[in-house]
Amino acid sequence: MSNNNSWQKVRFYEICKNISDRIDDPKQADTDYYVGLEHLDSEDPKISRHGSPQDVSKTKLLFKSGHILFGKRNWYLRRLAVAQREGICSAHMLVLEPIEGKITKEFLPLLMFSDKFFEKALMVSAGSMSPTIKWKDIAPLEFLIPSIEQQENILSITHKIDHAIYNVQNLLEKTKNYEISRRESLLTRGIGHTKFKKVSWLFGKEIEIPEEWEYDRIEHFCNKITSGGTPNRDNSDYYGGQITWIKSGELKNNFLSKSEEKITEKGLSESSAKLFPKNTLLIAMYGATIGKTAILEKDATTNQAICAILPNTNFDSFYLQQLLISMKNILISFGMGAGQPNINQQIIKTFHIPLPPLPEQQKIARILSNINEQITQQQSHLTNLKLLRKSILNSRLTKEKVSVQ
């Protein structure tokens, strides 16, 4: 039974301690386990990856199993995890230890993930570029927390949801791995073939593909390969129209029908922008999204950082997209540039690919599309479970909403 009177007001320093055991030379630490901010995921209490003390320098913090690692720099990302073993961590974290008696060890992370904690932390956060929270500022913050009995009741609920989240994450990971292996098999061995031929591959190697398949440059199978353009930003008459204009950052190996920006008919006619038809395959050529793809679900334009591939009637766009996804790293290896590699139209045009007859392309595309749909559904289910967990947690941590049952 819930009882409002069993709630207690506490200051943050009354329910946890700040552990500041420092080590000046990480390489001398008696551990091979290092956790940096980059190893923590937003709103995920598990540490799924780590680094080595041999790869870092400067002062770090020691932590033990059960300690809470809280990213105090850019804290709004809610990077917080419970350590499962001893190690060292970034000095941009707080190492916290729950104080038994007023709060259970597992409940403290729930409190810190809540919107109530976020709202109070916002009031004492310092800095605009990389907002940071200091222990001395959050230590005196006051919170209303339920009794130990109620905490355990809330934990029993979240544990059930966490178990469901774990199962879906597990299934999602397996489905993604299956998608990769299935894609690689289908795109090189096809469906039901028994006779194969060798073709010259990259770097002097040979690969085997079904005898019925063609093997040639991408441009041989396409009506056109070109790129888009950007209307003059200084001309307001070019923007705010009805024509979809896509930037490379919007390519996420997806299907696209919407864009952040749109251009006008004037912007299209008086610039290097081109209108590409539905089913055109797009691939990013520069920057952080290099190699990412998308298929147009409607006529649209793009900027010059995107290559547009217009397949002919014997080429399925989704099949080509899956092929380019599987060969992304190889394609990028041909890129130019000292920093971030860039690819260009010529590289894409002359890139050799295996191509089955259209009916087999479409069968392969359907198989991969079905797997892709399973992944989308699992990701959606995972998102909903996390939202449910957050909603329940926030409602249970708001005293005004607690009722006698």
Give the rounded distance of the alpha carbon of 40 from its chain centre. Answer: 13
* Main-chain phi, psi angles of 260, to 5 degrees: -70, -35
pLDDT of residue 341: 76
Which amino acid, 265? E
What is the value of pTM for the model shown?
Answer: 0.76
Q: What pLDDT is recorded for position 249?
A: 93
Query: Can you give the pLDDT at residue 333?
Result: 83
Which is the CATH superfamily of the domain at 214-355? DNA methylase specificity domains (3.90.220.20)
Handedness of CA 113, 118, 124, 127 (dihedral sign): positive
The token pair that represents 374 in the structure block = 């399973």
Helices (H), 10-92: 12-15
* Identical topology for domains 10-145 and 214-355: yes
What is the model's pLDDT at position 400? Answer: 47
Domain boundaries, the chain: 10-145, 214-355
For residue 253, CA distances in Å to 210, 267, 288, 316, 358 come to 27, 27, 14, 15, 21
**Which pLDDT score is estimated for 258?**
92
Q: What is the pLDDT of residue 403?
A: 39
SS3 of residue 191 by DSSP = coil
Query: Are β-strands 60-63 and 93-98 bridged in parallel, bridged antiparallel, or unpaired?
Result: unpaired
DSSP 248: G
Q: Distances from the Cα of 4 to the Cαs of 1, 145, 261, 404, in angstroms?
A: 10, 10, 50, 8
The confidence score (pLDDT) of residue 129 equals 78
The CATH number corresponding to 10-145 among 3.20.20.100, 3.90.220.20, 3.30.930.10, 3.90.1580.10 equals 3.90.220.20
CB of 6 closer than 8 Å to CB of 147 = yes
**Mean pLDDT per 10-residue section of the chain, whose length is 405 residues:** 68 96 92 95 89 93 96 92 95 95 90 90 84 94 92 92 94 96 93 94 84 93 94 96 96 93 96 94 91 95 96 90 90 72 89 93 94 96 93 77 39
Return all residues near 28 (Cβ < 8 A) that are at least 6 apart: none
| Confidence at residue 297, expressed as pLDDT on a 0 to 100 scale | 96
Residue 346, pLDDT score: 92
User: Is the sign of the CA dihedral 209, 215, 221, 224 positive or negative?
Assistant: positive
CB 349 within 8 A of CB 285: no
- 186, 363 in Cβ contact below 8 A? no
